Chains A and B, each alone.
Chain A
Amino acid sequence: MSLTKTVAEIAPGDHACAVVDSDEQHWEVAAGYVSAGLVRREKVVYFDGEGSAEPLLRRLREADVNVDEAVDTGQLVVLPPEAADASDERATEAVRSQVRESIEDALREGYRAVRLTDEPSAVSRAIGHSAVHRLGELDRMIHEVVRDRPVTMLCQYDRRHWSSSDLHQLGELHPVEVIAPALYDDGLLRVTRRAPFSTRVCGEIDFSNRDLVRGMIENELERALRATNETGEVAVHLESLRFADVTSVAEFVQAAEGFPQSHRLVLYGVQPSVRRLLDRCGAAFSSQLEIRDRLPR
């Protein structure tokens, strides 16, 4: 049975897996894992099996990670999908060699630890049922490579590409399972709790899911009112909110106007397009709505 950890709790020596249900969860886990490695001055090697580099880098930038510097200095290396292709025996051996070389290069470059991650869903699409067997072999090979070395490994599986029994078998191969709980995730919008009275809203809000926004803010206010919240602040982090329609942005403004005098709604890290829309919806006139820069990491 696997040990469960959050992304922040993963430590050198862990060989973990994460099963994600949505793109937003995928990017949250991947970006959290990568940024934690960069902060710890580890070398990070991303086997980009699903072609996720662009949204991953965007998500890292939204989290205030200096991606360009990490890429330029070689601390972050993103390997293209073909580097993670384990669809046959020869390719599997190539992946194993690539992993070993990446680790040796990193240690030679002076990094104290190496952080690896891959997204092997393409193998499932390429070879179907035998993918689990193939990945089991690859995992055992990689396990041998990384054993007794300062390496952290995270295998990311998208639930939409695997059967339940496949995921069960793959989970058995990993001593650690990463969990990333959400308050809400519909595949387009993901809401997570960041801290008490503080939520993070990622993705897009439109006609299909906007009814959630006002309810979510009202719930947070209700909790804040019932608890001792000295700041009187209900915080919503919007760094990764990439689209919001007019009605949902107006909901933020109107929700703040409905707050009691003791409390205020604080929006952090609002993206320029959403910021312009807040202005257009009268945010400047709402005394209980505050817009602040994102918090430093």
Chain B
Amino acid sequence: MRVQNTRVALPRRFSHRGALYNTQSELVDLAVPLIEQARRRGAPVVLAVATSTERLIREVVGPSGLVRLSAPEPELRRSGQTVAVRRARELRELTDRDGPIVVIAQHDPDMGLLDVRTWVETDAAMNIALTTMPVTMTCLYRDPLDPVLAAAARWNHPMWVREDGSALENPDHREPADVLTACPAGAPAPLGPADRELTFTPWQLTDLREVVGGAARAAGLSPERTDDFVLAVNEVAGNAVEHGYGTGLLQLWLRDRLLTCEVHDSGVLCDPLPGLRLPHPAEHRGRGVWIARQLCDLLHVWADHDGTHVRLQTARGSHVPDPV
């Protein structure tokens, strides 16, 4: 998998805006001027909205210059941080090719994609993952909102769009870490008893790599994807023994079409959304989880009274291992 890198730190270029609507026609009234402005600037418009909304918008503005983002896969829908990483990857491809872009996103509970907690986490994680990207994203929320989501929507958007379409600085905006303190990332769906467990110290990371590598090969991953997944789990496990009093627990599941690892330690999670942004080149640390996130289909970090937990997941492959 190709992972991009930069030599210098880039300035903040992401503009994240929130807005409320009551009816579909209000939504279209808010979205259409944004799309027309973007078109005048030659910026592509990306839609992450319900199919019915997209149809209405296309009827008004025509199909030209509109790009559709697909809904997150079901297994990602309880990890807002993973959704944000995925969105960042998709949008980076567009901005690298086309320059600045405009994104219209819709929150409608009837879409049934993300629950309230995950939506809050996704919006907070977007504020980190997209920081340096030339993206103007307007998130449209259907009023009335769930009380938690209503508050968090205000916290997560530095700009707020008024009914007349003008955007003002939002005095209620909070940093992502503060949002996650008030509304922490939740645990993913339990997977039942693990197929394999391993307690490890720094000196047993090599055994951990052996176990994960063996499982990845058994899951049919290609040699390159096996190396990548082993590296990702190793990075998380290294953090666990560094920050978690020297020991960690690896759990591993090989189910259906997914290979899943969890790494648990008893340490305190200082940064609730680690590894969402590539650190400055001069920084010695902080690169491991960022790279791990690029190499997995899912990497979800959460904390509870027992400590810090990370789930990493990759799709099983069709590679037939070479006979030894």
Contacts and interface: CB of A to CB of B under 8 A. Distances in A.
Interface in B213-230: 224, 227-228, 230
Given A208-B203, A246-B288, A282 B5 contact: yes
B202 interface: yes
A207 B5 contact: no
17 contacts: A206-B209, A206-B238, A207-B202, A208-B205, A243-B206, A246-B231, A246-B235, A247-B238, A247-B285, A251-B284, A273-B227, A273-B231, A276-B224, A282-B5, A282-B6, A282-B281, A285-B5
Contacts of A6: none
- Per CB-CB distance, the 4 closest pairs between chain A and chain B, nearest first, are A207-B238, A273-B227, A246-B288, A285-B7
A208 to B, nearest CB: 4
A207 B209 CA distance: 12
A127 interface: no
Contacts of A251: 284
Interface string B181-203: 00000000000000000000011
Contacts of A280: 3, 5, 291, 294
Given A246-B231, A279-B5, 12 more contacts: A206-B206, A207-B205, A207-B238, A208-B202, A243-B234, A245-B231, A245-B235, A276-B228, A281-B287, A282-B5, A282-B7, A285-B7
Contacts of B3: 279-280
Interface residues on A, range: 20 to 34
Main secondary structure of the interface of B (DSSP, over half): helix
A251 B206 CA distance: 20
Contacts of A192: none
Interface of B: 3, 5-7, 202-203, 205-206, 209, 224, 227-228, 230-231, 234-235, 238, 241-242, 281, 284-285, 287-288, 291, 294, 324
Contact of A250 (B241, B284, B294): B284
Nearest to A251: B284
Interface of A: 54, 188, 204, 206-208, 243, 245-247, 250-251, 254, 272-273, 276-277, 279-282, 284-285
A297 B285 CA distance: 37
Contact of A245 (B6, B7, B203, B234): B234
B5 A246 contact: no
Nearest to B290: A246
A276 B224 CA distance: 10
Contacts of B288: 245-247
